[in-house]
């Protein structure tokens, strides 16, 4: 039997897990940055999403168009390109922002587009009859928004929001590593360039991401059950 195909392989890699675990503190620092980036992106995106959804639902034809173009553009182009555009493109005009800021703004604009659609689904779900009932009860517009619309919408879109937060956390923030942000993946790259234990580092990092997202999912599901009585999937 011809075993020459084995020349493709070389089995002389020795795993050194100790090295990877020795750098756990630095990795966890990176994880903190990941969470920071994730939270800032989410809330910033949520504000944009609220604005965009409002424009799409209540705005005139021009404003609706603007929101549409924004959403369509940012949901059909990669976040990485958006970040490159900010990081290198603005540099051409003389605006020099650091990688973290560019990543934050890029991801926020990106997230805002997706969140606009999520929020809009929430807006649409409020039936006209609920609004009319609130009106006949003598509530002012502000009261209507506060006591009828927002709780209803919050409950309807909470699962989608919670899920999207996980998406941002896991997928979104890792993009920052490419431009030099010291979040979890970025830290792994930093450390690996020094000790050359890329494989072990990234396996550990993968593990941390899994743990991070499991904790986040669990917490969000519990919050959902208590605060909104939403029966979201725990895992």
Partner 1 sequence: MLERLAMEAPRFFAPHNLALLLEAMGMTLALTVVGCVLGFLLAFGIVFLRQTPGRLALPIRFMAIFYVEIFRRIPFLVVTYLVLFFIQAFVNNASLFAIAVIAICIYSTAYTADIIRGGFESVARQQTEAAAAMNFSRWQTLVSVIIPQSWPVILPPAVAFAVGFIKDTALVSQVGVFELTFRAKEMNNEGFSALLVFGTTALLYFAMSYPLSRWGRWLEQRLASSPSKRSQQRLRPAHRS
Site of interaction with partner 1 (CB under 8 A): 7-11, 13, 72-73, 76-82, 84-85, 87-89, 91-93, 170-171, 173-175, 177-178, 185, 188, 198-199, 202-203, 205-206, 209-210, 213-214, 235
- We find the least distance from the C-beta atom of residue 9 to partner 1, in angstroms, to be 5
Per DSSP, the residues of 10-78 read: -------HHHHHHTHHHHHHHHHHHHHHHHHHHHHHHHHHHHHHHHHHHS-HHHHHHHHHHHHHHHSS-
**Closest approach of partner 1 to the CB of residue 143, in Å:** 38
- Least distance in angstroms from the C-beta of 154 to partner 1: 26
- Looking at the Cβ atoms of 74 and 123, the one nearer to partner 1 is 74
Cβ-based nearer residue to partner 1, 96 or 150:
96
CA proximity to 87, closest of 216, 183, 180, 194: 180
Q: What backbone torsions phi and psi does residue 177 show, to the nearest 5 degrees?
A: -60, -30
Nearer to partner 1, 137 or 199 (CB): 199
Residue 160: φ, ψ to 5° = -65, -40
Q: Between 15 and 147, whose beta carbon lies closer to partner 1? A: 15
Whether the CB-CB separation of 41 and 108 falls below 8 Å is answered with yes
CB atoms within 10 A of CB 65: 13
**Three-state secondary structure of 120-178:** HHHHHHCCHHHHHHHHHCCCCHHHHHHHHHHHHHHHHHHHHHHHHHHHHHHHHHHHHHH
Q: Closer CB to partner 1, residue 134 or residue 174? A: 174
Whole-number minimum distance, CB 117 to partner 1, in Å?
Answer: 12
Q: Given the complex with partner 1, which of 149 and 204 has the nearer CB atom?
A: 204
Query: What number of CA atoms fall less than 13 Å from residue 35's CA on the CB side?
Result: 13
Give least dist CB 219 to partner 1, A. Answer: 15
What is the smallest separation between the CB atom of 158 and partner 1, expressed in angstroms? Answer: 20
Q: How far is the CB of 232 from partner 1 (least distance, A)?
A: 15
Judged by beta carbon, residue 11 or residue 226, the one nearer partner 1 is: 11
* Tokens encoding 183: 């979040």
Rounded to a whole number of angstroms, the CA Rg of the chain reads 23
């Amino acid at each position: 039997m011809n075993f020459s195909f084995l020349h493709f392989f070389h089995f002389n890699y020795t795993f050194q897990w100790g090295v990877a675990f020795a750098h756990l503190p630095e990795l966890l620092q990176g994880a903190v940055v990941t969470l920071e980036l994730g939270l800032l992106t989410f809330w910033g995106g949520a504000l944009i999403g609220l604005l965009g959804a409002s424009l799409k639902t209540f705005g005139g034809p021009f404003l609706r168009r603007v929101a549409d173009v924004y959403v369509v553009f940012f949901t059909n182009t990669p976040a990485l390109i958006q970040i490159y555009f900010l990081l290198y493109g603005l540099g051409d005009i003389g605006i020099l922002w650091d990688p973290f800021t560019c990543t934050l703004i890029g991801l926020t604009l990106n997230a805002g587009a997706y969140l606009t659609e999520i929020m809009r689904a929430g807006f649409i779900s409020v039936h006209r009859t609920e609004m009319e009932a609130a009106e006949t009860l003598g509530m002012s517009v502000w009261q209507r928004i506060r006591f009828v619309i927002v709780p209803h919408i919050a409950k309807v879109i909470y699962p989608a929001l919670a899920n999207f937060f996980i998406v941002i956390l896991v997928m979104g923030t890792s993009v920052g590593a490419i431009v030099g942000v010291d979040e979890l993946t970025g830290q792994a790259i930093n450390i690996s360039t020094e000790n050359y234990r890329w494989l072990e580092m990234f396996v550990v990092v993968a593990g941390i991401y899994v743990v991070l997202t499991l904790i986040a999912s669990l917490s969000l599901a519990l919050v959902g059950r208590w605060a909104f009585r939403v029966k979201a999937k725990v895992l």
